Chains A and B, each alone.
Chain A
Amino acid sequence: MLKIENLHVYYGGIHALQSISLQVPEGKIISLLGANGAGKSTTLRTIMGIVKPSEGRIEFLGESLVGLKSFQVVMKGIALAPEGRRVFTNLTVTENLALGAYIRSEKAQIREDIEEIYSLFPRLKEREKQSAGTLSGGEQQMLALGRALMSKPKLLMIDEPSLGLAPVLSQGVLSKLKELNQTRGQTILLIEQNARAALSIADYAYILETGIVKLEGPAAELASDDAVRRTYLGIH
């Protein structure tokens, strides 16, 4: 579904991505792992057209995404729940969700989908008229996720959903992702610091290190690989 080939990105004088290649097949959960500064977020930001690549190809359903602006990438069917959640704290919970559906026009259907997000995350329903700034970190993450789903993306990309969340909450968010994948066949590209948790729900994973793909493979294989266990899972 998504195919990235030889992607190079310079970011403030730094060669942030050095020939990254990866693929996201339809219906799968793919995870990008790696330390801070490895280039995970830059990869997603480049896909979304926020950062311009200096070289390389990004193809989504056979069409090139290079040179498109964020809103055009969204219209092609990709949504990103960005790092740090970035919910609109000056809008209500419902307005945040409605904005997520900006590219769509069927009003009744959008209203139904908002209700569906609320049934997925009942905590949000209780706060639908509150400003998003009053939500807790975990609730904001649910909102960011719900907001990204509102565009009905073919590919959902999520950057660090468990950042700053209590382990119990981050486990909850990840199991929601698995549920979306299994019940709706939602294709997901997931960045996660918690490599063990990510590998537990992903089908396939790429491990990035200072702008290159260091290692890749089926999630189950990586999870049992000795070197991976030592370096990324903290198991000795």
Chain B
Amino acid sequence: MTIESFLQNLSNGISLGALYALISIGYTMVYGILRLINFAHGDLVMLGAYFAFYGVAMFVLPWWLAFPLAILFTTLIGIVIEKAAYKPLREFPRINLFAAAVAVAFLLENLAIVIFGGRPKAFARPAFLDQLLKIGNISFVSYTPVIIITTIVLCTVLILIISRTKAGIAMRALSKDIETTGLMGVDTNRIIMFAFMLGSALAAAGGILWAIKFPQINPLMGVMPGLKAFIAAVLGGIGNVWGAMIGGLLLGVVEIMLVAFFPQLAGYRDAFAYTILIVLLLFRPNGIMGEVQAEKV
């Protein structure tokens, strides 16, 4: 493989990994606090993409207005899901929450099919994201660096919120001991809602960037990225925000690189990527960052 095509594949893998990272943060934060695998999380990715699509295509908004609004609406839906489907079940055995999460996932997917229509829609990239760029012999489309930079910015903001702000400290405390966090004067319900907000916003941002990278959207588009981001979260050490970022990045790079190095395996891309992951988990059952419980969120 030439150095050019290696770098090209690497940038492709990193941008895919960045998207997995953005999505997997929501899984890991909610798991860290409620020990809930929020299966509906992937569908927020889809909602983010659709809201952005309709903002531009139907309401003719400029992208810089449509995208933030799409994130806002998706976040609101994330809050509604938490309030309506998860909060009332919090006192009951964990398995009930689990079932509710699966139900919400099906609900969102089927509502999307009914409301948005089952046929895929073409997502129009803003022109500045559709430029073919060349650095030396490496060519890439302008959305690639934009995806990577946006992800870095969003992750930095998230890390600052979690490590520096009062709500962030409360969130970390909550992941350890909900009852005692309440004894500190923390309105725990509000902090749980805040965690859902952050996770949903990142999922929506991930969905919009996903649609920019793969500009065809459909009501089930969130399922695969959702599953993979979940795996990335487990790989990184579920409950750990840094782990989710690293796991996502690794997953994206492995997926792309495997095909780059062994093109004849292209059809088995997912199978091989996940075999590697299973082996990795056999050796590190708590995930890459799993032992650093101190940083758990």
Contact = CB atoms under 8 A, between A and B. Distances in A.
A74 B185 contact: yes
Interface residues of B, number: 22
Most central of A71, A74, A95 by chain B CB within 10 Å? A71
Given A90-B293, A99-B173, A147 B184 contact: yes
Interface stretch (B79-87, B146-154, B175-183): B175-183
A88 B294 contact: no
Interface in A85-127: 86, 88-91, 95, 98-100, 102-103
Contact of A79 (B173, B181, B183): B183
Contacts of A103: 185
Nearest to A99: B184
Interface residues of A, number: 25
A20 interface: no
Contacts of B179: 50, 70
B271 interface: no
A56 B177 CA distance: 29
A75 interface: yes
B4 interface: no
Contacts of A147: 184
Most central of B183, B294, B295 by chain A CB within 10 Å? B183
B172 A90 contact: yes
A103 B293 CA distance: 27
A124 to B, nearest CB: 17
A88 B182 contact: no
Interface string B258-297: 0000000000000000000000000000000000011110
Given A86-B180, A133-B294, A91 B173 contact: yes
B103 interface: no
Contacts of B184: 71, 74, 99-100, 102, 147, 151
Nearest to A150: B184
Interface in B144-198: 166, 169-170, 172-173, 175-177, 179-188
A104 B295 CA distance: 25
Interface in B100-126: none
Contact of A86 (B166, B172, B177): B177
A233 to B, nearest CB: 31
Interface of B: 166, 169-170, 172-173, 175-177, 179-188, 293-296
